[in-house]
Amino acid sequence: MTVEDFFGPQVPRTGGEGQAPTYALASAAYRDTPMEEIKKADNEWHQSTVKDGRKWAKIFRPNFGEAYSQAVIDRMLGVGRAPLIQSFGSEPQVVVEHCLAANRIRRERDKKLTGLMLLCGVLFLPGLVVWLLVFQLRATMGKTDNKRISGLGTGLLVAVAALAVIFLVRMPFTGLAGWYARGCIVAPVAGWFLAKRVCEKTATDLRERWGGLLSGGSIGAKVPEAVPTSPDQAAAEQLRQSLARLSAEQQSNSVFYAGPKGILGMGTRWGSWHLAEELVPLDKVKGIHEFRSWTVVRAIHDELAVLHRQRLKTGGFPQATVRHWIVTHVGEGAKAVTRPEGTDVEAYQVKPRAVEDICNNQQFDGGDRHYLGVQWPHLWNGDLILTMMITVTVLKETLRVEVTGHALGPVNGLFSGKPEAPTKEVAKTVRFWETRTIKLPLVTTDEVVRLAARATISWYPPVLKWLGGSIGLPEPFGLRHAWADQPWRHRFMADDALRAATPVLRAVHRAALRVLKEHDVDVDKFSSRASALSGAVQDVSPKKADTYDA
């Protein structure tokens, strides 16, 4: 077993299959839209929260990209963080690295803005305070639905600007005090002009990365702070270890069943088929040649591993991932999960011997359960995660082989929206009954002031969160399933999910019957039941299989 087989890809791959969800989620780190848009991506089971800051500090409010990047970094790389849900069909490490890269670009901008604030603001503090108060009042008024109050904010800014011009012309002070008073009026305005150029350059860079990722471009995330160059770089080493831990947890063979939510990361259970019959010996004198659940599971594994092979050269299944899973039950409303620990677990992987013991022994009462899964994680370029789970139990003389289908749809369309240039429709000068579209500045006056104000305390994110607010991620958190839609509204995705059930079910039954024959079991009842299920599965339709009408 290689290092990559155990821990997953150590270097993010670009341009490969199944990258659409990864790039869509990564592009959110570069967005400059309002933070409240995250609520548009909520689904039936997982809801994000927007945590408001201080009402009097609207000027420090983050935008979508700023809040999203910080929330993802804190949740996925934080020291002592809670366990994460695997993001099947995407690469969470790539998303996190783009969040780090976006924050790095913003930090470089904030350094320049902080210098301008010190030079043009702090040295002329009285003028800076007056201008910031005006913009804070304008921002507060602009948040109201009352158009009159909203218009008063712009009127206030114009009035203060007019007073500033009058004050410059009719300066009441002379000498050094007069020149300092002029500086208090002019310096913040000059600093704003220089800051605007810095902000526009950064905004253009961020938007190019945003659009490039959604266009399929191989835009890499530059994270030099994650590569320690000397032994004393503790922060870089800690970041590197956090990224390695994230990659290792992504490869874990432990998943969680959350009732009607289905298996977290794999989606809800939409279909279920059971083959359960009594084990009767073919020869009552000779009896049944002893076998265990693992014997049947191993045969099913071998059969599913060649599911993509077929005699007719007409397409068919792509290569699937066949893997043994340890499934832990968590409540439907659980806000956190706990991964298995102990001597049977190493690097988030339940060891093979422990997996076999769970398969053979933990079939009733409490404890984790074993499932064999066949998964297609890269269908529709990663937008459809299709998983069929098989579990085998033997209670008394009854063998039960259960096949269930799980499906997770595409990432919400909010994350696939490309950047659009800000525009506004205005009436034409002559033909006033017609309208025309004009381009607006990429960075507005208010935005420059907001970024400059945030830059001064950007070195300490907790204060920024307290003042301006933040995004609360849905728990238990996993990048892929938190914002996934159901696939059933997409006709072809739904067809693919339904079509996969029949050949998988037949392959499972074929392997199980072969094992039973090899161990001297009378398979007549099993064959009849398998034939009935094979006919019934042809008329399969998606249902809420985990919602019991009891």
User: How much of the chain, in percent, has pLDDT values that exceed 70?
Assistant: 85
**In the predicted model, is pLDDT for residue 47 greater than 80?**
yes
Shared domain for 320 and 178, answered yes or no, is: no
Shared domain for 290 and 302, answered yes or no, is: yes
CB contact set of 377 (below 8 Å; sequence gap of 6+): 18, 88, 89, 321, 385
What is the rounded CA–CA span in Å between residue 238 and residue 233? 9
Count of structural domains, the chain: 2
Shared domain for 288 and 398, answered yes or no, is: yes
Most confident of 188-192, 244-248, 364-368: 244-248
Q: Which among 482, 500, 531 is the end of a domain?
A: 482
Shared domain for 474 and 509, answered yes or no, is: no
Range of the domain at 241: 22-247+443-482
Going by pLDDT thresholds of 50, 70 and 90, the confidence category of residue 387 is very high
What is the rounded CA–CA span in Å between residue 152 and residue 130? 17
Pick from 7-21, 104-118, 142-156, 529-543: least confident: 7-21
pLDDT 10s digits, 258-309: 988 999 999 999 999 999 999 998 888 788 888 899 999 999 999 999 988 8
Check residue 171 and give its pLDDT.
65
Asked if 511 contacts 299 with a C-beta cutoff of 8 angstroms, the reply is: yes
Which backbone phi and psi does 162 adopt, to 5 degrees? -65, -45
Check residue 5 and give its pLDDT.
36
Do strands 321-329 and 384-395 pair parallel, antiparallel, or not at all (unpaired)? unpaired
What is the rounded CA–CA span in Å between residue 123 and residue 183? 9
Check residue 218 and give its pLDDT.
64
Mean pLDDT in residue range 188-196: 81
**In the predicted model, is pLDDT for residue 542 greater than 60?**
yes
CA distances from 137 to 30, 56, 154, 193, 319 (A): 28, 9, 10, 21, 60
Going by pLDDT thresholds of 50, 70 and 90, the confidence category of residue 15 is very low
Check residue 147 and give its pLDDT.
58
Shared domain for 54 and 129, answered yes or no, is: yes
Is 548 a member of any domain? no
pLDDT 10s digits, 136-189: 666 666 556 555 655 665 666 667 667 666 666 666 666 676 667 676 777 777
Nearest to 107 by CA among 494, 526, 461: 461
Shared domain for 99 and 177, answered yes or no, is: yes
Most confident of 59-63, 170-174, 508-512: 508-512
Is 501 a member of any domain? yes
**In the predicted model, is pLDDT for residue 531 greater than 60?**
yes
pTM: 0.84
Check residue 345 and give its pLDDT.
92
Mean pLDDT in residue range 69-77: 94
Is 79 a member of any domain? yes
pLDDT 10s digits, 413-453: 999 999 988 888 877 777 777 788 888 888 888 888 889 88
Going by pLDDT thresholds of 50, 70 and 90, the confidence category of residue 363 is confident
User: How much of the chain, in percent, has pLDDT values that exceed 90?
Assistant: 49
Check residue 365 and give its pLDDT.
87
**In the predicted model, is pLDDT for residue 3 greater than 70?**
no
Check residue 141 and give its pLDDT.
62
Shared domain for 52 and 147, answered yes or no, is: yes
Shared domain for 239 and 262, answered yes or no, is: no
If you search the block for the tokens 């595409």, which residue do you land on?
A: 410
Shared domain for 300 and 371, answered yes or no, is: yes
Shared domain for 500 and 456, answered yes or no, is: no
318 C-beta neighbours (distance < 10 Å), count:
11
Shared domain for 200 and 299, answered yes or no, is: no
Check residue 1 and give its pLDDT.
39
* Average pLDDT taken over every residue of the chain: 85
Mean pLDDT in residue range 500-505: 92
